[in-house]
Amino acid sequence: MTRLDALSARGRAFLGTDHAIMAGAMTWVSERHLVSAISNAGGFGVIACGAMTPEMLDTEIAATRALTAKPFGVNLITLHPKMSELIDICAKHGVGHVVLAGGLPPGGAIERIKASGAKLMCFAPALSLAKKLVRSGIDGLVIEGSEAGGHIGPVSTSVLAQEILPAIRDVPVFVAGGIGRGSAIAAYLEMGASGVQLGTRFAASLESVAHENFKKAFIRASARDAVASVQLDPRLPVIPVRALKNAGSEAFAAKQREIANLVDIGTLDLAAGQLEIERYWAGALRRAVVDGDTVTGSLMAGQSVGMVTAELPVAEIIAELVAEAEAALSSRAA
């Protein structure tokens, strides 16, 4: 057994995979083709349910299962209005791992997911929340730093890892955000992580269904191009989104001002205003990923985008990460 195998044993056993490498769930990107490719290559693919209807998720899980016999998970957004039905769909297909994102699990969700036999994972952006989730009975944690793409928290991956990894031992913890090289994987495993989660490296892979324009933007970008959005009005709490800077990110500032004005004059209430902002992101992301609009679409990417230098097959990306991790561990041992 290699040093890498020993350090990742808990994560590999938890996921049922050859490598303790999870894929981040990316709306419009993490579908059957990419998910099955990651699982077939020894990693752990995760379907991004996002705003899918229960019927759409039902179809997607079945289609993914037709492409791989390896384990994969499903990511559900806690605010989805049909969360209960989505949990039923996962149970129907015997999904082995459910990942909840977007806040604390709603009442009864933890019990229902675990009753289906699935392992439940949740995101923890702070140690206090990590402890609360563990007490509530979840099976695994993902700690994601602000370097990640898409919706992000305020704290960097390195700080979260230092705070949370020594304190949480009851469940496996996977580190995410800004990871693009195997050397970083090795470092987090040595710190006590059970595994890692990557999104950006896989978004521009050969098997990703993202538009070629979207992938080319990733290949051209550097780390400093992936910037977080800014909240303009304290009445409209906006979870920051990290994406490549373009006209679309500039338009988001204008959209916030527009919605704030509608709230001021009473045309929209606060809740409706916040929903409009979320709809903006959903539409902008689809324009970029599906339509290839890299000007006004949202090019959600983590700061590891600077390490995306070519459109590579998923299996090659995972093999490269594993080789780099093994080399880093061997070098330190020597």
Report pTM.
Answer: 0.95
Which tens digits make up the pLDDT trace of 315-333?
Answer: 999 999 999 999 999 998 8
Which tens digits make up the pLDDT trace of 210-241?
Answer: 999 999 999 999 999 999 988 777 777 677 89
CA dist., res. 193 & res. 190, Å (int)? 7
What pLDDT tens digit does each residue of the chain (334 aa) get? 899 999 999 999 999 999 999 999 999 999 999 999 999 999 999 999 998 999 999 999 999 999 999 999 999 999 888 999 999 999 999 999 999 998 889 889 999 999 999 999 999 999 999 999 999 999 999 999 999 999 898 999 999 999 999 999 999 999 999 999 999 999 999 999 999 999 999 999 999 999 999 999 999 999 999 999 887 777 776 778 999 999 988 888 888 888 888 888 888 888 788 778 878 888 999 999 999 999 999 999 999 999 999 999 999 999 999 999 999 999 988 8
Say which residues have a Cβ less than 8 Å from residue 241's Cβ, sequence separation at least 6. Answer: 150, 151, 152, 228, 229, 252, 281, 298, 300
For residue 325, the SS3 value is: helix
**Which CATH number applies to 3-209+309-333?**
3.20.20.70
Question: Is the separation of the CB atoms in 97 and 25 below 8 Å?
Answer: no
As a three-state string, the secondary structure of 71-118 is: CEEEEEECCCCCHHHHHHHHHHCCCCEEEEECCCCCCCHHHHHHHCCC
Question: Is the separation of the CB atoms in 61 and 87 below 8 Å?
Answer: no
pLDDT of residue 279: 81
The full set of domain ranges for the chain reads 3-209+309-333, 222-300
Report the DSSP beta bridge partners of residue 72: 45
